[in-house]
Structure 1
């Protein structure tokens, strides 16, 4: 690992532990860890709360002026060495150690602040070590010049260049068409884990963006088409405009519509498009398929399969519910992890049973896990923002 690689890895490790990576970034991070034993050891170390407590104890004992003087002395010695190769080797090692120290300090302070996390609450009802509050309306808007705006429930106007082009209110971002706005400008709404947000695009299309997702779109549609880019999951209610088809680009797949309501899930390479109303055409590089209401297209590297769909279950998240209908526990816990911003750990061999049921998304994490425990042979534990799933037997 070179100097830049060591520093980049330290930053990615911290973002992974804080659950800030996008699905694509998380996959790339875990792949890099799996191929490097040293990285795996670091990841295992920082997953361990007791290790972080040791870091705290060390930082408390550290005499900062004395430690800094040692660094200066060693640096002076390196500069006095005649062997350039040896100096470079020492510098490389020091930068690697510095990268590890960055993670140690940053993770320690993050871990300490997580103890004060207002969303991690006491559990006086379900018998867990603690409970976690559900997600809410929050997101980050990235403007075309790279500036970011934090979105929540508050009301404000947002400028793009010299023009006010959008407004936030009650967990919704709204755009409107006006003259003088550069149509080549794109905005991006990024919704973190434990968040969701609703946006009305300039043509009147309404989009519900789910946790751990991002939607990129033009500030103002122009020309003979409307095109947006999705990473994650969103529900679209597309404004009818026969002269300008609407396109959703997701993981190399294109969904074309004129006016319709549908859900797209693109958290992985397997893109799922479920049609509620209207008609859509979904295309990849090899073929296309047409959907009618009640159908779902499942796009895999091998092609596009069209299946019957339970549209109520697929769209339930935007209406405030988890609806499970014959799902494996791994699939269920993926949804829970995104909405409550927790990490899920499976212990032992988990039976591949399927589960059905519904629960409001405004329930605390403990309430959802208690429901799952009641209908399964599984045992759940909550430790901070970690959930451990194991068999009862």
Structure 2
């Protein structure tokens, strides 16, 4: 069973897909089946099955409240989400095994279903597509309340394409110098996210509690934007105009690539993760060039490591995913997405958690995963108390 602990999420997805579609090798099939049987032996259940109440709690924590995502019109995305949920369910079960082995919880046969009554009675919906666009003129547009499909703004047309998405399009009209210098800001609140297509065609997905500052027109010989919070970029290639992201402790320079930047003020590090292409990270600690699959961390130093990029962009793909993360880090993510205030009532050790759930799931569904390690939660007036 412990072999499963070294698998990355992407490896789990591929392995489960191969097992389900019949293309897995004998060794791969044996691994899946052996791991499953070993997990049941570890629980001490004589019949080789998890108690139904615990099993239901585990998988409802992963699958609850995700019916809406099945209605997506994109078949490949629907399949990807289905496979991801299977992998996420496996990681939740793996995490329970870790606790059984290393945190010495009570035997599963005596385990009661986690009590989340105080949370479910006052449950909190997940965040959604909400943002405010502040134009260079000072005008503020609440995008999720905007009724028009398009707005004229200087030499641009702002189009609201789909739910949670706007696009800046140039009309080709000449602008006076003052308008060329105008900057706009797209801001997402706590519990909000939004997608924007910039004037050059670059696509940016903005996570909760984030601000993206950008010009109406990319004039001159470079394109640059400023970020506070988290965003995923798909940069439109233009070798004559490098694209730069200014984010807290560092500057990121690209020509055309896909990458994620996490630069929240309350996090210890600014983190840049590269999926495609190449980016250069510059800070007062020096410079690093990243290759796909690498992640740069900027704090008191500048370091680079190999990572599973699926983890960095799970939020953008519609999932809440944590792998070997400490509780305080997870709680900060919960605060941003569910618009709650977290208070720690008791001193909690730095336990680490692995699990996943659809990003649209209610708060109680996510907390069920965490409560399996004997942590309790209480929610009152959007204040979430964490206690033993």
The normalised TM-score by structure 2 is 0.66
SS of match in other structure, 1:132: coil
1:164 maps to 2:162: no
* Residue equivalent to 2:380: 383
Secondary structure of residue in 1 paired with 2:204: strand
Q: Does 1:198 align with 2:192?
A: no
Deviation at 1:125, TM superposition (A): 7.5
- Contact 1:228 1:248 (C-alpha < 8 Å) held by counterparts: yes
Q: 1:129–1:383: 8 Å Cα contact kept in structure 2?
A: no
Other structure's SS at 1:214 match: strand
| 2:137 is equivalent to residue 145 of structure 1 | yes
**Corresponding residue number in structure 2 for 1:243:** 240
The aligned residue for residue 18 of structure 2 is none
The counterpart of 1:260, out of the listed 247, 257, 262, is 257
**What residue is the counterpart of 2:106 in the other structure?**
none
Identify which of 310, 313, 316 aligns with 1:312.
Answer: 310
Deviations 1:18-74 (A, max 9, x none): xxxxxxxxxxxxxxxxxxxxxxxxxxxxxxxxxxxxxxxxxxxxxxxxxxxxxxxxx
Would you identify which runs of 4 or more consecutive aligned residues in structure 1 move more than 4 Å?
123-127
In the alignment, the residues of structure 1 paired with residue 301 and residue 370 of structure 2 have an alpha-carbon distance, to the nearest angstrom, of: 34
* Aligned mates of 1:165, 1:172 — CA distance in 2: 10
Q: Does 1:361 align with 2:353?
A: no
2:330 pairs with 1:332: yes
Residue by residue over 1:193-215, the C-alpha shift from the partner in whole angstroms, topping out at 9 and shown as x without a partner, is: 01000000011100000000000
Post-superposition offset of 1:262:
0.4
1:45: which partner in 2? none
Query: CA deviation digits over 1:200-251, x for unaligned, max 9?
Result: 0011100000000000001121221110000000000101111111000011
1:128 offset after TM fit, Å? Answer: 3.5
Aligned partners of 2:221, 2:155: CA distance in 1, in Å?
26
* Structure 2 stretches lacking a partner, 5+ long: 1-114
Post-superposition CA distance 1:162-214 (Å, at most 9, x none): 75344453210101123324332211001000100000001110000000000
Q: Is the 8 A contact 1:211 1:338 kept in 2?
A: yes
Q: Which has the higher contact order (CA 8 A, sep 6+)?
A: 2
Residue in structure 2 matched with residue 351 of structure 1 by the alignment: 349
Number of residues of Structure 1 aligned to a counterpart in Structure 2: 267
Change over 3 Å in CA distance of 1:289–1:162 after alignment to 2 = closer
What secondary structure, in the 3-state scheme, does the structure 2 residue paired with 1:144 have? coil
Q: How far 1:287 moved relative to its partner?
A: 1.2
Task: Name the CA distance, whole Å, in 2 between partners of 1:163 and 1:130.
Answer: 44
- Of 169, 173, 176 in structure 1, the residue corresponding to residue 166 of structure 2 is 173
Superposition RMSD in Å: 2.0
CA distances 1:280-325 after superposition (whole Å, capped 9, x unpaired) = 000013411110011110001x321111122101100011101101
User: Structure 1 length normalisation: TM-score?
Assistant: 0.65
Please state whether the residue corresponding to 2:180 is helix, strand or coil.
coil
- Specify the alignment match of 1:278 in structure 2: 277
**C-alpha distance after superposition, 1:252-271 (max 9, x if no partner):** 41000001000000002621
Q: How far off is 1:127 after superposition?
A: 6.0
Unaligned stretches of 5+ in structure 1? 1-122
Q: Tell me what 2:301 maps to.
A: 303
Q: Which protein has the larger Cα radius of gyration, Structure 1 or Structure 2?
A: 1
In 2, the alpha carbon distance for the partners of 1:388 and 1:131 equals: 13
Give the secondary structure class of the aligned counterpart of 1:221: coil
Distance in 2 between residues matched to 1:129 and 1:346, nearest whole Å = 20
Query: Secondary structure of 1:318's match?
Result: coil
CA contact (8 A) 1:326 1:355 kept: yes
